């Protein structure tokens, strides 16, 4: 198993930086409170079955992870190309306005109660179906109960920085 400073880990991270992914903020609200974090590890699992399903990977040390697990719901907010500032707030790279991450944009509750960013390109509102911790990350599987979208270009992350569509 690679250690935090192993050559394999470093090579792996360098190789993974060549992949490009959409930038999302995953939010939740419920009995455990309100929380959110920026992620780039998100994908669909299936459009078939009783409901479509989504997968999100979130670091176990994220302050949002235990709250999502307790609330049993989350919203995947796919950010637009002009929303790097919101991504940075939810990634704790820049200070949150008034120490409240949710002040960085206009949020409204989705069907599950999870906050949806009204200006996000896409909002996938999900109930938590499954959670497994693998290594340092929670792999969350959600059942999609609502989707909202608008036109625009996505905020992308690759080569260790935000990218624009060519």
Residue 95 pLDDT > 90, yes or no? yes
What would the mean pLDDT of 110-133 be, rounded to a whole number?
98
Q: How far apart are alpha carbons 11 and 6 in whole angstroms? A: 9
Q: Is pLDDT of 2 > 60? A: no
φ, ψ for residue 63 (rounded to 5)?
A: -65, -20
pLDDT for 14 = 87
Residue 3 lies in a domain: no
Residue 1: inside a domain: no
Looking at residue 164, what is its pLDDT? 75
Average pLDDT, the chain: 93
Q: Is residue 101 part of a domain?
A: yes
Helix then strand count (H, E) for the chain reads 3, 12
The count of structural domains within the chain is 1
Q: Is the pLDDT of residue 158 over 90?
A: no
Handedness of CA 90, 136, 54, 155 (dihedral sign): positive
- At 114, the pLDDT band (50, 70, 90 cuts) reads very high
Q: Tell me the torsion sign for CA atoms 125, 33, 36, 67.
A: negative
- Is residue 5 included in any domain, yes or no? no
Question: Residue 88 maps to which CATH number?
Answer: 2.30.110.10
Q: Is residue 6 part of a domain?
A: no
Q: Does residue 35 sit within a domain?
A: yes
pLDDT of residue 3: 60
Q: Which domain holds residue 103?
A: 12-160
Q: What is the pLDDT of residue 17?
A: 82
Q: Is the pLDDT of residue 40 over 90?
A: no
* pLDDT higher than 70, residue 48: yes
Q: What is the pLDDT of residues 5-27, one digit of tens each?
A: 788 988 988 887 877 889 999 99
108 lies in a domain?
yes
2 inside domain: no
């Amino acid at each position: 198993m690679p250690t935090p400073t192993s050559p394999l880990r470093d090579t792996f991270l360098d190789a993974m930086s060549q992949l490009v992914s959409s930038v999302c903020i995953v939010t939740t609200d419920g009995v455990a409170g309100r929380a959110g974090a920026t992620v780039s590890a998100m994908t669909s699992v299936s459009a078939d079955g009783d409901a479509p399903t989504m997968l999100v990977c979130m670091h176990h040390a994220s302050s949002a992870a235990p709250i999502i697990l307790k609330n049993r719901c989350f919203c995947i907010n796919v950010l637009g190309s002009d929303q790097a500032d919101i991504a940075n707030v939810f990634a704790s790279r820049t200070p949150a306005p008034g120490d409240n991450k949710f002040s960085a944009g206009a949020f409204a509750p989705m069907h599950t109660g999870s906050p949806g960013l009204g200006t996000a390109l896409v909002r996938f509102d999900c109930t938590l179906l499954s959670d497994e911790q693998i290594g340092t990350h929670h792999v969350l599987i959600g059942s999609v109960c609502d989707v909202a979208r608008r036109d625009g270009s996505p905020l992308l992350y690759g080569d260790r920085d935000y990218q624009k569509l060519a």
